[in-house]
Amino acid sequence: MEIGKRRNEFYIKTGHGEALLSYRIIGKKVMSIYHTFTPEEERGRGIAEKLAIRAFEFANEKGLKVRPDCPYILHFLGKHKELRGQAVK
């Protein structure tokens, strides 16, 4: 699965549409991830997780902390304890 990037969004094209992760940059130091979506037919396949990992990589590349404003990202951080240090409240 190839992850694409548009302005303030990462996405993966699936057989049933697009899965996406939306974010905004706050100031110069914080990336707020506020929305994720995966088509219902594609859920449970790890697609949102791939998008979240890419978003955290992007934040790290840019020297940003991540503010998890999306319920899925809070869940994701529960599974990926190694990334919690990159998150802010």
Q: What is the pLDDT of residues 5-58, one digit of tens each?
A: 999 999 999 999 999 999 999 999 999 999 999 999 999 999 999 999 999 999
Q: Measured in whole angstroms, how far is the alpha carbon of residue 76 from the centre of its chain?
A: 9
Pairing of strands 17-26, 30-37: antiparallel
Q: Which domains does the chain have, with CATH numbers?
A: 4-82 (3.40.630.30)
Q: Does residue 79 have a pLDDT over 90?
A: yes
